[in-house]
Amino acid sequence: MVSPATPPPLPTEPRAPRWVRATLALLAALPPAVAAWLLIGEGWRSDPHGAFIQRVLFAADRGRLELLGFEYPPLPFLLLLPSPTDYWAVALGAFGLMGLAWYVVDECTSRRTILPYLLLLAILWTPLGLHFTAGNFNEALGLAALFVGWRHYRRWWSTRRTIHGLYTGLWLGLAFYSSPLGLGLALIAGAILPVLFPRLQIPPFASQMVLLVFPGFAATVTWAYLSWVFTGRVAFPFTPWERDSPAILELLRWTIPYLVVSAAALVRPKATTAGMLLPFLLLAAATQTGWHFSLAFAATLLMLVAIVALPRDVSRLQRWSLVVLAAGQAVASWWFIPLPTPSDADRRDRAVAQALAVAPPRSILVDDRRADGLLKWVPSLDAYLTTRDIGFDLAVGMPREAVQYVLVTEDADGLSLDAARHPPAGFVEDWSWSGYTLYRLPNAPRLPVRFSAAIAPPARGLLR
Amino acid sequence: MSSIRLGEYLVQRGLITEQQLAVALQQQERTGERLGRLLLILGFIRRLDLGRALADLWNLPFITITDTALVPAVAQRFPLDATMRFRAVPLRDDGTTLTVAVADAPTAELRETLAVVYPGRTLDIRVTTEWDIDQAIGLANRRKVVDASIYGLYFRDQSESAFTVFTLPQYVLFGALIILVLAGLWSAPYATLLAINVPITIFFLTVIIFRTVVGISGAASETTVSVTADELRALDERDLPIYSILVPAYREAAVLPQLLRSLKALDYPADKLDILLLLEEDDPSTLAAAKAAAPGANVRILVVPAGQPQTKPKACNVGLLFALGEYLVIYDAEDQPESDQLKKAVLAFRRGPAELVCLQAALNYYNASENFLTRMFTLEYSFWFDYLLPGLDKLRMPIPLGGTSNHFKTKVLRDLGGWDPFNVTEDADLGIRAAMHGYRVGIVNSTTFEEANKNVGNWIRQRSRWIKGYMQTALVFSRDPMGLVRRAGLRQTLGFTLLIAGTPLIFLLQPISVLLTIGWVITRTTALDPLFPPIILYLSLFNLLLGNALAIYINMFAVFRRGLHGLVLFSLLNPFYWVLHSIAAYKALGQLFTRPYYWEKTTHGLTRHPAAATH
C-alpha cells in the first residue's frame, strides 16, 4: 500500500490571458447571435425554441415546475426558466458557442497558430452555426458539454490524472441532460479503453467504465424518479426533439476537414486515433439506435474533433490546404443550406396567439397537442386551459361551466366535442380563420384577430 | 568539548571500539547529530557510561537521580518550562548550595536562571542521563504536569476549552428555540413544521454544494504535489531537525511490536528522532510490553500521571511538555506511516509560509478488503483525506485535523495551548483553533495506514466519539459568532460552520429525511404536501437525488485514485453506511449531555489482515 501515484508534473502549456480568450470566444459567437436576433425581429421562432418556451411559460404561469412535463431533454427547460423568451434562448445558444470557442482558443495558443480558430469560424459563421442560436440552443449547450467532456477524456488517459476523469464524467453527465449522446459517448469511451490500453486489467477497466457511465445513469434514474413522483408514470428520457438525423454520407459531405485529418491519422495510427474516431462512432451508432441530432450538431462536433486531433507538426502547405478546404465548405454551406425564414403560417399563428393573449385566465379551452403551431407563439399560457391542467377533463365535459372560449383546429379539435363541425352546446362561433375556430359564450367579450397579418408582405431582412 | 575528544575518550576507556567510533563518525558526517546521542542510538554504549564519560570530560561529578534523594519542593520551585528548556532539575537545596542535575553541558544562561530562582546559592552541578532527567521531572513535578496537561488550555483561555459544554447564552438560546418550536407545534403545527423544514432544506443544499466544491477542488489538487521524490533525494540529512513522535497508547500491548517496526522503518535519521511512548499509569500491561520490546535509545517511555479526564489529548499534552523536537507528530499505536513522511513534512514546513503551523498527512486503511465495514470506511477516508482536506487547504478554509499523522511546529503548538483534553476530537478542535488564531494547516502528500474498524459496535463507539467531538468543537467556537467572524474571517467561519457544525447536524437530520421519503413512497400520502411547497419540494428532490449522486460519484473517484478498483462500486452502498453514522450521531448527542468528556475507546488489533503483521 502506498499513496496514490503522483504523475510527473506536466509541462505548462502557454495559455492566452482570460480576457483574450473571452474576447475571441465572444467574437466567434457574436455573428450567429446577431443573425439570430435579426431573425427574431423578423418574426422567426424555431419549432424547438417554440416548444421549449411554451412549456416553460406553462410551468411559470401555473407556478409548478413539474408542469414542464418529463419530456427529454430537461436542460433547456430549466435554463429558460429565468426568462422564457427568444432572446434568452439565443443568448444561451451563443453562450454554448462561446464555450466551444474558448477551448479552441486554448488549442491555438498551445499550437501557436490560428488555424484551429479559423476552422471553427468556418463552421460557426455559416447557416450551420446559426442553427445553434436561431434553431436549437439546446444543441449548442449539449455540444459544448459533450466536447469539453471528450477533451477531458483525452486528457485523462494521456496524463493519467484522475481529476480529468472526474471532469469527464461530470461534463458527460451534464451533457446527458441536454442530449442522450452524453451517455452514449460515455459508454463508447469506456468500451474503447482496452483499445487504448491493451494491457488493461479487468478491475481497472470495470471501474473506469463505471466512472464514465455513472453520471449518465444517475441522470436517467433521477429523471425517471422525478417523473414517477409527479405523474405516477416513469418517463424514459429518450423522446427526442430532433427526429430526423442526417444520413452518414450527408454528414461526411459537411465535415471534409475532419475526413482529411482522420485519414492522415489513420496512415500512422496511434492510440490517439481511437479517441479521434470515437465521436464519429458515436454519431454512427446514434443514427442506428434512434438517438437523434441535427446536421449542424454533428458537423460541428466532428470539426472540433478534427481541430483537437490536428497533428502538431502540420506543414505550411497542409495548413493552407486545410484552410482552403474549410473555406470551401463554408461557402458551400452558405450556398446549399437554406436559411431559416418565417413562414406565412407562422405569421398567422402569431397573430392569433397575440389576439387571444388578452383573454382572462383559464378562459380558453384548447387541446395543446393539436394547437402546438399556435401555442408556440403565445406570450403567456395564462389564458389557456390545456390537457396538462387538472380541470381539463371537467371542462371538456361541461365547457359552458368551465370556460368562456373553445379554440379548435380545423382537422380535429381533440376535445371530444366534435367542435370542428359545430359549436359546443351554449357557444357561438366567434371567428374561423387560418385553420382555427374560436367559439365563445354569447356573453363573453370578443377577441379580435388582426386578420391583416395574413396578407402583410414578408419583411426583407439581412438573411434573405 | 569536541566530538572527536569524546570519541577518543570513550575508546581510551574501552567503552567503544575504534570501529564503532568510525561508524558513528561516518553517521555523524551524514546527519550532523551529536556523537554521544549517535552512539546511544547505534547501541554502542550504555546511557550510564556515556553520562559518566561526559561528566569526566566536563569536569563535573556524575549522579543517578533514582539513587539520590530528590526533594520535590526544591525541584518544583524551578518553573516547569525552564526545567524542560534546560533539561535541568534542581535536586537539593541546603540554603547555601543548590545541587542541580543536567543532561547537557551547563550554559551560562542556565546558571543565570538558577541564580534568579535560587538567589545566593552556590551551584553544585552534576551530570546525569536524559532518562534520569525525565524521571526526575515526572517525580518532582507530577502535580504540575497533570495540571498543565489537563488545564493548560483552560487557564490560558477558558473560551477555547470544551470544559464548559454549554455556556449560559447557549442554554438560553437552545431553550428558547425548543419552547418556540413546542409552542408553534401546539398552536400552528403545519406552519411550524414548514418553518423548520425550510432552513433544513436550504442547509442540506448548502452542505451539498460546499462538499462538492471542496471535493472537486481537492481532486484538482493532484496536479500540484507538495513534495516530490526529487526534492526528497536532494535533502541533506545534516539539515534535518530533531523530530518528536508522540505515540499515546492505552491498552495497546498487542500492537506495540508492530508500532515499533513501523517507526523503525521511517526514513529519517534515527539519532534525530525523539520518540515518546505515552502510556497510562493504570495500564501496566502496555508498559510491560514496551519495556520488553527494548526500544532503541531514541524511544522514551513516559508514564502519564493518572487524572481525569483520562483522554488521549491529556497524554499528548504530557508528551508535548517533554518533546525535544523542532517538529512533532502524533501517531496512533496501530499506525503504519509511509517511510518518507517526516522528511516530506520537514520540506513542506520549510517551503510553506511562516503561518503554516501544522501539516496533516493522509490516512487510509491497510485492511480495506476485510469486510463491508472496512470497505466503506476506506471509501470514506479516501474521500476525506485525499479530496476533502486538500480541497479545504486549496480554498484556504480551516482543516479539522484527523486524529493521527498531524505534524506540528512544536513551539507554535505550545503557544496555542496544546490539545484540549476535554474535547474528544481534540485534533479537529486544534485544527480549527489554529485557523482561528491566524495560523494555517496544510496537507502533505504522504499516507499513514491504519487498521479500519471491522466491528460494527466498535465502529459506532469510535464514530460517536468523533461526532460528539465535532459537536463540542462547534459549541466552543460558536460561543461568540461575531467574534469568530472578526478573528477568522467570513470564509473560515463558513467552512467551520458547514464542516464542523454541519457534519453532526446532517447525520442527525438524515434519518428524518429518509423516513419521510420512504413513508411517502409507500403511502403516497398528501399529508406532507403543506410541508413541501413547490420550491422546497424541488430543493428537497435536488438534495435527495443529485446530492447523493454527487457524493457517491466523487467518492468513487477517491478510491479509484488510490487504485482500489474493487471499492468503486461499493460507493453505491454509501447511503446504507450513512445510516450507521446517524446511529452514532444520536448516541453522541445523548453523551454530549450525559458524559461529555467520556472517551469511547476504540479497540485495535481486531484485524486478521496480513498487512497488520507484515508492515
Using an 8 Å CB-CB cutoff, list chain A residues near B227.
Answer: none
In A50-155, beta strands by DSSP E: none
| Same CATH fold assignment for domains B65-140 and B178-615 | no
Query: According to the per-residue pLDDT averaged within each range, which of A158-162, A316-320, B145-149, B172-176 is highest?
Result: B172-176
Q: How far is B331 from chain A (nearest CA, A)?
A: 17
How does pLDDT run across A350-377, given as a tens digit for each residue? 888 888 888 888 889 888 777 777 888 8
Whether A141 has a pLDDT exceeding 90, the answer reads: yes
CA-closest candidate to residue B182, choices B169, B199, B170, B196: B196
Model pLDDT, residue A463: 37
In chain B, what percentage of residues exceed pLDDT 90? Answer: 20
What mean pLDDT is predicted for residues A292-314? 85
Domain locations along chain B: 3-57, 65-140, 178-615
Q: Average model confidence (pLDDT) for chain B?
A: 85
What mean pLDDT is predicted for residues A185-200? 81
Model pLDDT, residue A268: 74
Residue B279 three-state SS: strand
Whether B466 has a pLDDT exceeding 70, the answer reads: yes
Distance (Å, whole) CA B17 – CA B47: 16
C-alpha atoms less than 13 angstroms from C-alpha of A296 in its C-beta half-sphere: 31
Which of A158, A207, A234 best tests the B interface by mutation, with the highest count of B CBs <10 A?
A207
Using an 8 Å CB-CB cutoff, list chain A residues near B615.
Answer: 1
Option in B446, B557, B615 nearest A162 (CB) = B557
Option in B445, B545, B553 nearest A215 (CB) = B553
First to last CA, chain B: 42
* CB spacing of A203 vs B445 below 8 angstroms: no
B303 vs B192, which has greater pLDDT? B192
Model pLDDT, residue A227: 80
Residue B231 three-state SS: helix
Using an 8 Å CB-CB cutoff, list chain A residues near B556.
Answer: 207, 210-211, 214
In the stretch 323-352 of chain B, residues with CB closer than 8 A to chain A read 338
How does pLDDT run across A35-44, given as a tens digit for each residue? 999 998 888 8
* CB spacing of B554 vs A204 below 8 angstroms: no
Model pLDDT, residue A241: 47
* CB spacing of B534 vs A63 below 8 angstroms: yes
Whether B228 has a pLDDT exceeding 90, the answer reads: no
* CB spacing of B560 vs A214 below 8 angstroms: no
Option in B447, B546, B568 nearest A211 (CB) = B568
Q: Is the peptide bond before B596 cis (omega within 30 degrees of 0)?
A: no
How does pLDDT run across B6-28, given as a tens digit for each residue? 888 888 878 788 888 888 888 88
Per-residue pLDDT band at A458 (split at 50, 70, 90): very low
**Chain A residues near any Cβ of chain B (below 8 Å):** 1-6, 9-10, 63-65, 161-163, 165-166, 169-170, 203-204, 206-208, 210-211, 214-215, 218, 221-222, 225-226, 229
Whether A29 has a pLDDT exceeding 90, the answer reads: yes
What mean pLDDT is predicted for residues B35-61? 83
Using an 8 Å CB-CB cutoff, list chain B residues near A225.
Answer: 545
Whether A242 has a pLDDT exceeding 70, the answer reads: no
Using an 8 Å CB-CB cutoff, list chain B residues near A215.
Answer: 549, 553
Model pLDDT, residue A414: 58
Whether B584 has a pLDDT exceeding 90, the answer reads: yes
Q: Residue B515: enclosing H or E segment and its boundaries?
A: helix B502-523
Ranking B37-46, B66-75, B118-127, B158-167 by mean pLDDT, the lowest is B66-75
Per-residue pLDDT band at A457 (split at 50, 70, 90): very low
Distance (Å, whole) CA A301 – CA A314: 21
Q: How far is B219 from chain A (nearest CA, A)?
A: 6
Q: How far is A367 from chain B (nearest CA, A)?
A: 26
Per-residue pLDDT band at A317 (split at 50, 70, 90): confident
C-alpha atoms less than 13 angstroms from C-alpha of A351 in its C-beta half-sphere: 19
Per-residue pLDDT band at A420 (split at 50, 70, 90): low
Which CATH architecture fits B65-140?
2-Layer Sandwich (3.30)
Whether A419 has a pLDDT exceeding 70, the answer reads: no
C-alpha atoms less than 13 angstroms from C-alpha of A416 in its C-beta half-sphere: 9
Option in A2, A9, A64 nearest B534 (CB) = A64
How does pLDDT run across A200-237, given as a tens digit for each residue? 788 888 888 899 999 988 988 888 888 888 777 776 65
Q: How far is B445 from chain A (nearest CA, A)?
A: 8
Residue labelled with grid coordinates 498487542: B254
* CB spacing of B562 vs A203 below 8 angstroms: no
Model pLDDT, residue A235: 67
* CB spacing of A166 vs B554 below 8 angstroms: yes
Provide the ipTM. Answer: 0.80
Instruction: Judge whether B611 is closer than 8 Å to chain A, CB to CB.
Output: yes
Could you tell me the sign of the dihedral formed by the alpha carbons of B167, B168, B171, B174, in that order? negative
Per-residue pLDDT band at B128 (split at 50, 70, 90): confident
First to last CA, chain A: 68
Q: How far is B399 from chain A (nearest CA, A)?
A: 20
Instruction: Judge whether B213 is closer than 8 Å to chain A, CB to CB.
Output: no
What mean pLDDT is predicted for residues B112-117? 86
Instruction: Judge whether B598 is closer than 8 Å to chain A, CB to CB.
Output: no
C-alpha cell at position A180: 442522450
What torsion, rounded to 10 degrees, do the Cα atoms A144, A146, A152, A155 define? -110
How does pLDDT run across B149-182, given as a tens digit for each residue? 888 788 888 888 888 888 898 999 999 999 999 9
Distance (Å, whole) CA B467 – CA B425: 8
Per-residue pLDDT band at A456 (split at 50, 70, 90): very low
Ranking A114-118, A427-431, B78-82, B603-607 by mean pLDDT, the lowest is B603-607
- Quick one: how far is CA B501 from the chain centroid? 20
- Tell me the CATH number for domain B178-615: 3.90.550.10
Distance (Å, whole) CA A149 – CA B113: 69
Using an 8 Å CB-CB cutoff, list chain A residues near B534.
Answer: 63-65
Give B79-87 contacts, CB < 8 A, sequence gap 24+.
Answer: B79/B117, B80/B141, B80/B144, B80/B145, B80/B148, B80/B321, B82/B113, B82/B117, B83/B137, B83/B141, B84/B137, B84/B321, B84/B322, B86/B110, B86/B113, B87/B130, B87/B133
CA-closest candidate to residue A183, choices A172, A192, A191, A193: A172
In chain A, what percentage of residues exceed pLDDT 70? Answer: 87
Using an 8 Å CB-CB cutoff, list chain A residues near B568.
Answer: 206-207, 210-211
Distance (Å, whole) CA A182 – CA A141: 12
How does pLDDT run across B263-309, given as a tens digit for each residue? 888 889 888 888 998 888 888 888 888 888 777 778 888 888 877 78
Option in A64, A210, A215 nearest B569 (CB) = A210
Task: Give me the residues paired with residue B299 across strands.
Answer: B275
Model pLDDT, residue B199: 92
Query: How many cross-chain Cβ pairs, A to B, lie less than 8 Å apart?
Result: 92
The DSSP symbol for B242 reads P
What torsion, rounded to 10 degrees, do the Cα atoms A87, A92, A98, A103 define? -170
Whether B1 has a pLDDT exceeding 80, the answer reads: no
CA-closest candidate to residue B76, choices B10, B142, B158, B150: B142
Instruction: Judge whether B219 is closer than 8 Å to chain A, CB to CB.
Output: yes
Strand order in the sheet with B97-102: B88-93, B97-102, B122-127
Per-residue pLDDT band at B508 (split at 50, 70, 90): very high
Using an 8 Å CB-CB cutoff, list chain B residues near A204.
Answer: 563, 565
Q: How far is A18 from chain B (nearest CA, A)?
A: 20
Whether A239 has a pLDDT exceeding 60, the answer reads: no
